């Protein structure tokens, strides 16, 4: 099955179970002060669960564009090194708002995976919540009994702890246990050596979690006690890219047709071959770079499409950081000295034109924005990298980059601190984050004084508490000034 067929089969399956299919919410969470980006399928339905709004149907399914690069869910560091965590990914989901509950949710999940997608039953493991005495939450006997009747035995059932198998929206509010489905994609001989059951939730690239089925059945009160909800809800999320890897029999998400178009273009552009030492290895930085670029271009292109331009603060800075991380990988390991990310936008626009047509509609604009960002960063990237090389040489004994230098790299060369840390890590160096923060605070103090001096009326709304990198703004302003002068 192609990825398009896999997505369609999911939605069709839940239509056959009387679900209403809704579009993905924009990836940028504009109306939620607690969230920058949609990080799960349920985020757009929060108000339904909290009882603040009425859902258009009691059964809903969709595919949601998610981005996990900030806050509680931040997978950015993993991306490119592992082969199954992305910044942006699609989460397939089905929901019941006070309609069906555990029995249907688990039966349908298993039916879809084994009968529609024909995934082998002896490769699947399921988890149930083991209970937590300290927190007064019981073992999920109900889910255990349902799985045992579906599977015919308890051999493939795993007991999960609070971290993996209990979901809560916050300290108070709806919560409940969940049940995850994991798949073992290793070759037979490896399975013979070590059973998959021992590798669940152990960061193995081929024993991965594919689906999480959450049972919202409790409401936590402020005093910590639990009430049983009258209208119980189901919230599920399945990683689309991982599902495609499993169905297409691939070793890595990047080997699926979702990423192969982009990787092929990167191969042509760089003259390098992807995966010469196998597609699971992270020893080869060329491969890591292709994965990073193939991943990050999706995140950036869709974020811009959905209204978040790269900028110097807040959500915009998150997008700029992702973009710069990719540019630096392409520059250092794929030999791209000219804008290259923007050239990938048409590949994505075409690939997703039927699912997320918004990218195709804004293709030209998105390409332009990314190209401008690339040009700006490529102007200072080389100098910044040279500066870093100097430090690696000078501080070879200390193996640490001091806060002042980290600040200088950010202020003068536009290197986000996490990018500096990433490059440092490759050389076995650490960065003095505390020193950097101190420098940043000093800079903010300076610019606060400037701001009060020059524009006292603006003082109140000045971005004092905002983690913006004012220094770089300044540098950009200078660049712009120079350009204007030339004109
Ligand atoms: P993991 O343990 O692998 O990090 P998770 O438990 O954090 O996953 P959930 O919050 O349960 O993930 O999200 C539901 C599903 O979304 C997961 O079962 C997985 O298939 C998928 N998923 C989660 N994070 C990512 C990611 N960064 N990239 C791709 N798919 C993901
Ligand atoms: Mg996770
Ligand atoms: Mg997990
Ligand atoms: Mg999970």
- Residue 297 lies in domain: 256-379
Ligand 1 center–CA 69 separation, angstroms:
13
User: Where a domain ends, among 336, 355, 379?
Assistant: 379
For the chain, give the longest Cα–Cα distance: 77
Q: Is the pLDDT of residue 483 over 90?
A: no
CATH number at residue 152: 3.30.930.10
Site residues for ligand 1, CB cut-off 6 Å: 40, 68, 75, 85-86, 89, 91, 209-212, 237-239, 241-242
358 and 417 assigned to the same domain: no
Is 236 in a helix, a strand, or coil? strand
In contact, 35 and 75? CB cutoff 8 Å: no
Whether 349 is covered by a domain: the verdict is yes
Whether 167 is covered by a domain: the verdict is yes
- Joined together, the tokens standing for residue 21 give 């299919």
Counting other chains too, the contacts that 280-283 makes at CB distance below 8 Å and 24 or more residues apart are: 280/83, 280/205, 280/206, 280/251, 280/252, 282/80, 282/81, 282/82
Whether 385 is covered by a domain: the verdict is no
Domain total of the chain:
3
Whether 390 is covered by a domain: the verdict is no
300 and 436 assigned to the same domain: no
Q: Is the pLDDT of residue 473 over 60?
A: no
192 and 282 assigned to the same domain: no
Q: At what angle do helices 257-270 and 285-305 cross, to 10 degrees?
A: 120
State residue 124's pLDDT score: 98
User: Where a domain ends, among 220, 247, 274?
Assistant: 247
Whether 185 is covered by a domain: the verdict is yes
Using most ligand atoms within 8 A of CB, pick from 212, 252, 256 the residue to mutate for ligand 1. Answer: 212
27 and 68 assigned to the same domain: yes
Whether 76 is covered by a domain: the verdict is yes
Ligand 2 center–CA 102 separation, angstroms:
23
Out of 7-11, 333-337, 474-478, pick the least confident.
474-478
Mind listing the pLDDT tens digit for each residue in 149-186?
999 999 999 999 999 999 998 888 899 999 999 999 99
342 and 367 assigned to the same domain: yes
- Joined together, the tokens standing for residue 338 give 């000219």
313 and 173 assigned to the same domain: no
Instruction: Report the share of the chain in percent with pLDDT over 70.
Output: 92
Q: Is the pLDDT of residue 387 over 80?
A: yes
User: Where a domain ends, among 346, 379, 412?
Assistant: 379
For residue 337, name the pLDDT band (cuts at 50, 70, 90). Answer: very high
**Chain-centroid distance, C-alpha 166:** 20
For the segment 111-135, the average pLDDT, to the nearest whole number, is 96
Whether 414 is covered by a domain: the verdict is yes
Place of tokens 């420098």: 439
Q: Is the pLDDT of residue 476 over 80?
A: no
260 and 400 assigned to the same domain: no
64 and 33 assigned to the same domain: yes
Looking at the predicted complex, does its ipTM rise above 0.95?
yes
Among candidates 94, 97, 93, which has minimal Cα distance to 47?
Answer: 97
Mind listing the pLDDT tens digit for each residue in 299-315?
999 999 999 999 999 99
329 and 239 assigned to the same domain: no
210 and 274 assigned to the same domain: no
Instruction: Report the share of the chain in percent with pLDDT over 90.
Output: 83
Q: Is the pLDDT of residue 454 over 50?
A: no
Ligand 2 center–CA 89 separation, angstroms:
12
Separation of alpha carbons 384 and 445, rounded Å: 25
State residue 252's pLDDT score: 97
Whether 387 is covered by a domain: the verdict is no
Mind listing the pLDDT tens digit for each residue in 416-433?
999 999 999 999 999 999
348 and 438 assigned to the same domain: no
State residue 457's pLDDT score: 35
Mind listing the pLDDT tens digit for each residue in 31-56?
888 899 999 999 999 999 888 999 99
23 and 42 assigned to the same domain: yes
Closest ligand to Cα 42: 1
State residue 475's pLDDT score: 39
Ligand 2 center–CA 403 separation, angstroms:
30
């Amino acid at each position: 099955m192609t990825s398009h067929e896999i997505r369609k089969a999911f939605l069709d399956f839940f239509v056959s179970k009387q679900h209403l299919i809704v579009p993905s919410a924009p990836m940028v969470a504009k109306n939620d002060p607690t969230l920058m980006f949609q990080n799960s399928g349920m985020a757009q339905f929060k108000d339904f669960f909290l009882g603040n709004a009425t859902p258009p149907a009691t059964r809903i399914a969709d595919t949601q564009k998610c981005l996990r690069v900030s806050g509680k869910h931040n997978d950015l560091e993993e991306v490119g090194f592992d082969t199954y965590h992305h910044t942006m990914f699609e989460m397939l989901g089905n929901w019941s708002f006070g309609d069906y509950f555990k029995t249907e949710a688990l039966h349908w999940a298993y039916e879809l995976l084994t009968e529609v997608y024909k995934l082998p039953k002896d490769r699947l493991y399921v988890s149930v919540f083991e209970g937590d005495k300290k927190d007064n939450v019981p073992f999920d006997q109900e889910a255990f009994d349902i799985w045992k009747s579906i599977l015919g035995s308890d051999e493939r059932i795993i007991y999960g702890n609070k971290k993996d198998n209990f979901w809560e929206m916050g300290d108070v509010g709806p919560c409940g246990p969940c049940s995850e489905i994991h798949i073992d994609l290793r070759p037979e001989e490896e399975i013979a050596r070590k059973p998959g059951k021992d590798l669940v939730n152990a960061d193995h690239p081929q024993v991965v979690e594919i689906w999480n089925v959450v049972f919202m059945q409790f409401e936590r009160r402020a005093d910590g006690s639990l009430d049983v909800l009258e209208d119980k809800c189901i919230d599920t999320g399945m990683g689309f890219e991982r599902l495609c890897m499993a169905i297409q029999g691939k070793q890595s998400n990047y080997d699926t047709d979702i990423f192969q178009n982009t990787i092929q273009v990167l191969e042509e552009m760089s003259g390098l071959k992807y995966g010469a030492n196998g597609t699971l290895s992270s020893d080869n930085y060329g491969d890591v770079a292709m994965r990073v670029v193939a991943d990050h271009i999706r995140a950036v292109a869709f974020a811009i499409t959905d209204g978040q331009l790269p900028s110097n603060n807040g959500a915009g800075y998150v997008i700029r950081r992702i973009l710069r991380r990719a540019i630096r990988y392409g520059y250092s390991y794929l030999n791209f000295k000219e804008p290259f990310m923007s050239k990938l936008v048409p590949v994505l626009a075409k690939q997703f034109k039927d699912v997320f047509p918004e990218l195709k509609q804004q293709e030209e604009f998105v390409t332009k924005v990314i190209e401008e960002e690339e040009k700006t960063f490529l102007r200072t990237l080389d100098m910044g990298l040279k500066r870093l090389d100097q430090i690696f040489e000078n501080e070879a004994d200390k193996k640490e980059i001091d806060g002042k230098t980290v600040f200088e790299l950010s202020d003068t060369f536009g290197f986000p601190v996490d990018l500096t840390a990433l490059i440092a890590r490759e050389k076995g160096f650490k960065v003095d984050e505390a020193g950097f923060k101190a420098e940043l605070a000093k800079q903010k103090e300076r610019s606060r004084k400037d701001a009060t001096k020059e524009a006292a009326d603006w003082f109140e709304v000045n971005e004092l508490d905002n983690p913006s990198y004012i220094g770089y703004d300044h540098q950009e302003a200078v660049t712009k000034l120079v350009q204007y002068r030339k004109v």
